[in-house]
Amino acid sequence: MAQAKKSKTAATKSKPAKTARKTVKAAAPAATISKHRSGTKQAQMIELLSRDEGATIADLVAKTSWLPHTIRGAMAGALKKKLGLTITSEKVAGRGRVYRVQRS
């Protein structure tokens, strides 16, 4: 006669439950501009924003070939949040909104 297969139950083959782990990234320390790879679009943005006259979105679009919403996202995400840079913005007559990296 054929033997009945035993079903695998929690009691016979139990494994510890995997717990979800959240990785919390520490806030990036204030980065120095010289630590970035040169030639990248991010480095080009930092270079333009570091000038005394700053840069407009149009300047950054011309230099990086990115769309304006990508420029704004990169400033908010990569430069401010990840690199810890302080970006200032002011409206200049005849030029529009000008962004700068605040020097500490």
Point out which residues pair with 90 in neighbouring strands: 98
Dist CA 77 CA 31 (whole Å): 14
Write the pLDDT tens digit of every residue in 56-100. Answer: 999 999 999 999 999 999 999 999 999 999 999 999 999 999 999
Phi, psi of 34 (to 5 degrees): -75, -10
Residue ranges of domains in the chain, CATH in brackets: 35-101 (1.10.10.10)
Query: Distance from first CA to last CA of the chain, Å, rounded?
Result: 85
Strands (E), 10-95: 87-92
Q: Report the C-alpha gap between 49 and 43 in whole angstroms.
A: 10
Whole-prediction pTM value? 0.63
